């Protein structure tokens, strides 16, 4: 028996609802604020600060898997190892604040209460949050990237460019589960 597929006028996955698909215009990236800086007096609620002008977001994970064989057999064993991950962010460079200072606004130390000019000044990790809003809705899901460290930062400009973008590469230790828990927010940068 042959079933004709009407690809021109039907979706392959008929159970998918279009409004459940996340749009890039509904994504938000945020950095953890300093403890005690919730503004609402609630110590149990983590307060995140939206990071504006993000142009690109890239998340990748790698899992070590070693393939081993035994003498006398062609069938392999797959042995899983550690999983690591990294993030990449691109943001438009502003005259007043660069991406490092926006992300690390939550961590100001006694020795550096103002402006970070180099990665070597950063001595603490931060948590980052990815939030995906459902189209035309206030519903969202969020994912926390824990103990993030910026490992590389770059910016470039050429004579023909109008705006300058800056990029950061970030390593993290763990990814929290997707949740729809309450997020406290402050003003964006």
Structure tokens at 156: 């470039």
Average pLDDT along the chain: 78
Lowest mean pLDDT among 57-61, 141-145, 152-156: 141-145
The helix/strand/coil state of 18 is helix
Give buried/exposed letters for 81-106 (b at 16+ CB in 10 A, else e).
eeeebbbebbbeebeeebbbbbbbbb
Inform me whether the pLDDT recorded for 46 exceeds 90: no
The pLDDT tens digits of the residues spanning 82-119 come to 999 999 999 988 877 889 988 887 565 545 556 888 99
What pLDDT, on the 0 to 100 scale, is given for residue 75? Answer: 96
For residue 48, the enclosing domain spans 23-61+76-185
Looking at the chain, the whole-number percentage of residues with pLDDT higher than 90 is 28
Q: Is residue 3 situated within a structural domain?
A: no
Q: How far apart are CA 116 and CA 134, in angstroms?
A: 35
Q: Is residue 124 part of a domain?
A: yes
Residue 135: how many other CB atoms lie within 10 Å: 13
CATH of the domain at 159: 2.30.110
Number of structural domains (the chain) is: 1
Tell me the C-alpha distance between 61 and 175, whole Å: 10
Residue 7 in any domain: the answer is no
Q: Distance (Å, rounded) from C-alpha 118 to C-alpha 112? A: 11
Is pLDDT of 27 > 70?
no
Cα separation, 32 vs 185, in Å, equals: 10
Query: Is position 16 within any domain?
Result: no
The pLDDT of residue 36 is: 46
Closest alpha carbon to 155 in 95, 85, 87 = 95
Q: What is the C-alpha R_g of the chain?
A: 22
């Amino acid at each position: 028996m042959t079933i004709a597929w009407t690809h021109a006028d039907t979706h392959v996955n008929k159970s998918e609802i279009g409004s459940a698909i996340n749009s890039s215009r509904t994504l938000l990236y945020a950095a953890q604020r300093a403890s005690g800086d919730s503004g609402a007096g609630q110590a149990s609620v983590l307060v995140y600060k939206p990071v504006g002008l993000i142009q690109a977001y890239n998340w990748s994970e790698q899992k070590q898997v070693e393939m081993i064989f035994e003498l006398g057999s062609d069938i392999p064993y797959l042995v899983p190892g550690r999983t690591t991950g990294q993030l990449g962010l691109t943001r438009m460079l502003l005259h007043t604040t660069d991406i490092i200072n926006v992300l690390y606004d939550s961590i100001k130390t006694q020795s550096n209460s103002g402006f970070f000019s180099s990665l070597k000044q950063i001595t603490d990790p931060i948590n980052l949050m990815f939030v995906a809003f459902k189209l035309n809705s206030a519903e969202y899901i969020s994912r926390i990237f824990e103990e993030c460290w910026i490992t590389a930062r770059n910016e470039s400009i050429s004579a023909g460019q109008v705006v300058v973008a800056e990029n950061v590469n970030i390593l993290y230790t763990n990814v929290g589960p997707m949740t729809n828990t309450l997020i406290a927010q402050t003003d964006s940068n």
